[in-house]
Structure 1
Amino acid sequence: MALTVHVPEYLEDCELVAGEDLAREPAFWLAHLLLTVGDPGEDPERYGVDASVYEEMVERISNPEEPWPVLRVPFEGGHTAYVVYANFDDANNVDFFVRHPAWGRLGYLGQFGVDEAGPGLSWSELDILAEATQNSSEGLTDSSQRLLLLLPMLGDAEIPREARGIVAQALTLCGIRSDAADELATVLVGEQGPGSEPHWTVTADNPIAVCSSSYSPRHIPLALGITPSQAQALADALNGRG
């Protein structure tokens, strides 16, 4: 039986359970990515995932009659990124947020579903969170899994050339067929070029980078309202200085 996950600042009247066991299944990674930033109509077989197994996984992570699966990425300074499959009777969302037990609030990265919002991470932040030192006995420890879990929140005009190769390698390591991983990685990372958006900048008022996209929860500083020392600690963790 999956362990209950308690997030006191999250929605009331919902039951959350640890979903890290899903990470063992290639079908989960394909479903997670296609249902958020990919094409849900893609044939899973071309990625090496049996269609019936894929359909069972989609049902498993979107069933409103079951507790909501939660996957976690602990990182520096006692922070944790959460991904919640929020399955209401009439809608399915995937919520991304960051939490620290001392904040008393959540820092929202974004959402896929009825009210989509994002992006929530720059490439450098995503890369740092994927490789961050594991400071907890809970959550994902594998860097490829951590990268793919948070990848839907990526939005950055300054993604390095090597990003697609890094994502393709992560896909392969998580069970996606290698000859299809490069093409999928290109779709997931997106295209950059002159005039691309969004951009990430740090202002004089807060050490946490903000996003130029008005659709991003990070158009204002992440976890706005935490103390200056907490904001600095979060900024340090997101920049690999924690």
Structure 2
Amino acid sequence: MEGLPLLGEPGFWAAHLADLCEGESPEAFGVDGADAGAMLECLHDTSAWPMFQVPIEGGFSIVVHYTSGEEYTSTDHFPVHPGSPDVVMASTDQDRIGPGLCWPELAAILQAPDGAVGATDPHARLLLLLPVLGDSAAPAEAVGAVAEALISQGAPDACEPLARRLLGGHPMWGAQPWTFDVDERSWICDGEHSPRQTPLGDHLPPYWRVELEACLGAEPHA
């Protein structure tokens, strides 16, 4: 199911980000509980499996895919490109894979390429990919960026505490330390469950790996 039309529905962001702020009232997102509950049911519908495409440079997209069985719903995140193998960035299935992005990488892909199709609004892109993030060194401006995105989607102005909580990482893996490997030209995560303990796309042919790293290529500031 194409998920893009769901982005404008009441309760979507409260449902999509529910795992990152368990126990938080939907009113913190500016919606009521009934709307959030209905959207959660939609996202977990075993016949729906909604999918969201976040286009980035080089013809790549990061896909956010809800997969639901009778007993369990997981959310998978992976970059795709025609002709290249899939690379899992994060997954909330029983194997728990994540985090898959650090803040410099996420900040670098908030703007969609010209003419892109899919989720192109920077605020929506940030919130869609927030569950993939897990960065213990996310800078102060990250809080402001997340709060701004939340407000753009209907959250009250005083949502900075919610933004801080959302930056704490998914409970399956939390916020983890990252370092930039100059030789590999890739961010490396120290998290136990992260697929980024090795360079992103390490198993891909060299051409695809270089292209993928260039898409996310946010080197640390000197």
Same fold (TM over 0.5): yes
Aligned to 1:69: 50
Q: Residue type matched to 2:32 in 1?
A: D
Q: Residue type matched to 1:144 in 2?
A: H
Aligned to 1:5: none
Identity, in percent, stands at: 36
SS of match in other structure, 1:221: coil
Aligned to 1:186: 164
CA deviation digits over 1:65-109, x for unaligned, max 9?
x22100110110000001011111121101111111121x11111
Unmatched 5+ stretches in structure 1: 1-16
Please show how residues 1-242 of structure 1 align to structure 2 within 5 Å. Answer: 17-35=1-19, 37-39=20-22, 41-64=23-46, 66-103=47-84, 105-137=85-117, 139-179=118-158, 181-190=159-168, 197-202=176-181, 204=183, 206-239=184-217
CA distance in 1, matches of 2:89, 2:202: 12
Deviation (angstroms), 1:136: 2.8
Query: RMSD across aligned C-alpha pairs, in angstroms?
Result: 2.0
CA distance in 2, matches of 1:99, 1:140: 15
Moved more, 223-232 or 181-190: 223-232
Decide whether the 8 Å contact of 1:82 with 1:97 is kept in 2.
Answer: yes
Decide whether the 8 Å contact of 2:13 with 2:29 is kept in 1.
Answer: no
CA deviation digits over 1:34-54, x for unaligned, max 9?
13x221x32213432111111
**TM norm structure 1:** 0.82
CA deviation digits over 1:164-198, x for unaligned, max 9?
0110000010122222x21110101139xxxx841
Q: Residue type matched to 2:145 in 1?
A: I
**TM norm structure 2:** 0.89
CA deviation digits over 1:111-159, x for unaligned, max 9?
124332211001011111112424533x101000000000111122332
1:63 to 1:197, Cα distance in 2 relative to 1, 3 A: closer
- Equivalent residue pairs, number: 214
CA distance in 1, matches of 2:186, 2:135: 15
Runs of 4+ in 1 over 3 A off after TM superposition: none
1:72 to 1:233, Cα distance in 2 relative to 1, 3 A: same
Decide whether the 8 Å contact of 1:28 with 1:54 is kept in 2.
Answer: yes
Moved more, 109-118 or 66-75: 109-118
Decide whether the 8 Å contact of 1:210 with 1:220 is kept in 2.
Answer: yes
